[in-house]
Amino acid sequence: TKDRNGIDQIVLRNPRGASARVSLFGGQVLSWRTDQGEELLFTSSKAIFKPPNPVRGGIPICFPQFGNRGALEQHGFARKKLWAIDYNPPPLHPNDSSGKAYVDLILRPSEEDLKIWPHSFEFRLRVSLSADGNLTLLSRIRNINSKPFSFSIAYHTYFAISDISEVRVEGLETLDYLDNLCQKERFTEQGDTLTFESEVDRVYLSSSDVVAVFDHERKRTFMIRKEGLPDVVVWNPWEKKSKSMVDFGDEEYKQMLCVDGAAIEKSITLKPGEEWTGRLELSIVPSS
């Protein structure tokens, strides 16, 4: 299908009726639904569906830089580029397609990108939806340059939640984190689980490979499983920042929480010819 700007979108469906929608603009997942048709990703009612803006919601990909931790524009350029369908991707080991609906995308730098970031790469992204309705984003980034380069990456996942005061995040206890609200200073998480009562903008460092977002009111839990992605971003703009964002409703911070699988603090370095793989798998489980 095409969106209103003529940009292709790919809809994945599994036999039970779950679905996911991916845009070639940014390689961004814009929707992920259960077999009952319930949307699991947040998209703002004020979102601007027009390039060069990434849509406020879904899963924009921050690459090759996270936030303003570097010389590039905020969150890097990949989320603002037109990706292509990769009709003939190199095989994956182990085979990652069995029983799944999937699409392979690829981003290669344009002349313009090479001027601001002079590194030739191929970024392959496979988005797949399993028979159980789990959504997986598998990235392969290859250095096809003659010199090494380093990058950061985050899958900036906007989860749809009932109410920010009803959710808690588990799996980040006792970790060190960088706080973007305090000159990127380093702190250590003290609490048992993470709950929310004000703006949060943090990068938790070296977490375990499973992080859970409990939504008490909806009686369900998002499970985030990750490989190659040591860090976890947690972001909620809260009241004041929400009002300053043109593509975000004043009260919408209550219905979203960003929890990103990421590699930020220690950037990833690839030698010529080397490839990095990162994997994010999202699922939901009922909880009490």
Interface residue list for ligand BG6 (CB under 6 A): 67, 74-75, 156, 180, 201, 233, 235
Least Å distance between CB 266 and ligand BG6? Answer: 17
**Of 127 and 257, CB closest to ligand BG6:** 257
Give me 90's structure tokens.
Answer: 């190199």
| Residue 30 buriedness (CB in 10 A; 0-12 / 13-18 / 19+) | buried
Give me 44's structure tokens.
Answer: 């703002």
Least Å distance between CB 37 and ligand BG6? Answer: 27
**Of 152 and 180, CB closest to ligand BG6:** 180
**Of 41 and 103, CB closest to ligand BG6:** 41
Least Å distance between CB 187 and ligand BG6? Answer: 15
End-to-end Cα spacing for the chain: 38
Short-list 80, 73, 90, 92, CA closest to 24? 80
Least Å distance between CB 288 and ligand BG6? Answer: 31
Q: 3-class SS at 116?
A: helix
Least Å distance between CB 247 and ligand BG6? Answer: 8
Sheet with 210-215: strands ordered across: 84-85, 101-107, 121-129, 135-143, 275-286, 220-227, 210-215, 167-170
**Of 18 and 29, CB closest to ligand BG6:** 29
**Of 27 and 67, CB closest to ligand BG6:** 67
Least Å distance between CB 1 and ligand BG6? Answer: 25
DSSP code per residue over 154-212: EE--EEE-S-GGGEEEES-TT-EEEETTTTTEEEE--SSSB--SS-EEEEE-S--SEEE
**Of 67 and 133, CB closest to ligand BG6:** 67
**Of 131 and 181, CB closest to ligand BG6:** 181
d(CA 198, CA 143): 40
Least Å distance between CB 107 and ligand BG6? Answer: 18
Short-list 288, 154, 283, CA closest to 231? 154
**Which residue's C-beta sits nearest to ligand BG6?**
235
d(CA 251, CA 45): 11
Short-list 251, 234, 233, CA closest to 243? 251
233 contacts 103 by C-beta, under 8 angstroms: no
Least Å distance between CB 154 and ligand BG6? Answer: 7
**Of 201 and 281, CB closest to ligand BG6:** 201
